[in-house]
Structures are given as C-alpha cells and as structure tokens.
Amino acid sequence: MKERITLKAYKETLQTPPEQRTLCFLIQGDEVLLGYKKEGGFGQGKWVGIGGKIEEQDKDLKEAALREAREEIGVELSDLRRVATLDFYFPYVDNPKEWNQRVCVFIANNWSGILSESREIVPKWFKISEVPFDSMWSDATHWLPKVLRGEVLWGEFSFDTDLNVEEMNFIEGSPE
C-alpha cells in the first residue's frame, strides 16, 4: 500500500498538467440528465454527466462538449454555460497521468434532437432532488448540488486507493 500523500504535496510532484476533459449536464425544469456509463473507459458502471476527452479536431473546450453531446446522446446543444472547473487527482493508481484530469463543467438548458442511447451512454432524466449520488463518483456529492443550484466554482479533489474522495478544496474565483 502506498503511503498517504496530501493533495498539496502530490500536486508538487506533477511534471505535466492534468488532461483536459469536459462534462455537461442538461437541465429541464426540475430535472437533470445523467448518463449511465455502460461500456469502457472512465466511470464504467456509474451515472455520470455527458462528456469526455478533447479530440484533435476540437478547437476549444466548448466545441469538445458539443461534440461529446452529439456522440453520446444524439443532441445538438444550443447553449452552454461554463459553471465549474474541477481538478481530479489519483495519486495511488498505477498510471496517474492517465487518470488525473481537469474537467470543465457546463450546463445546457436548450438543445435540439431526440435523446438516444449510444454505445457508451444510456441517458436518463432524474429529479434534481433524487440524483443517484450512491451510484456516482464520490466527489459528485460535494460539487454537483452546488452547480445545479447555479453556483459557479473551482474545486480540486484527490482520491484514495478505493477511488473515494480523500481530500478536497474549493477555490475562490471564476472557473475560467
């Protein structure tokens, strides 16, 4: 078992910045859309937001979020608001460089198209008051309610050997 390391000390050991990712939550009235990650990759078997990696053809984070929504749930988003930047660190995994990530979180209230299941994601609406936090990454309980209430934030999290939140901080200021 690896010796515990504080988030601050771990960040000081990093030689490269975390990989950029996007995450988007569609909101309709008192409901939020989550996706069940059914196949492959980060978050398999959990309810997650819609999003993923930045691809070479994406000119910016917003374009990546729009593309991910098309690919994962079949809709065209017509508005995106950046509401959070979240840094996730995994000091105890075998290859943390592949796990560490900076996630730019967006909210969308308008879109076109019909929600559809993809190879990776099964979309489902949940009442905001009934988000299934026990079937999500453990960090979500700390920041998702704030974002769904309209707060804008910047946070950082480190995860233990069981991939549960070990340490977290919220930083004052804009997520830009």
Q: Give the residue from 105, 18, 29, 30 showing the smallest Cα distance to 68.
A: 105
Single pTM value for the model: 0.93
Could you tell me what percent of the chain has a pLDDT over 70? 96
Going along the chain from its start, the domains and CATH numbers come out as: 7-171 (3.90.79.10)
- Can you tell me the distance from the alpha carbon of 157 to that of 170, in angstroms, rounded to the nearest whole number? 9
Q: Is the pLDDT of residue 73 over 60?
A: yes
- 166 CB contacts (<8 Å, ≥6 apart)? 4, 7, 158, 159, 160
How does pLDDT run across 133-142, given as a tens digit for each residue?
999 999 999 9
Q: Is the pLDDT of residue 45 over 60?
A: yes
Q: Give the pLDDT score at 173.
A: 63
- Can you tell me the distance from the alpha carbon of 123 to that of 121, in angstroms, rounded to the nearest whole number? 6
Q: What tokens does 14 get?
A: 């990093």
> What is the pLDDT confidence band of residue 107, given thresholds at 50, 70 and 90?
very high
- The beta strands (E) that lie in the chain are given as 19-28, 31-37, 47-48, 50-53, 76-77, 81-89, 101-108, 111-112, 121-127, 153-159, 165-171
Q: What tokens does 171 get?
A: 């930083």
- Can you tell me the distance from the alpha carbon of 27 to that of 17, in angstroms, rounded to the nearest whole number? 31
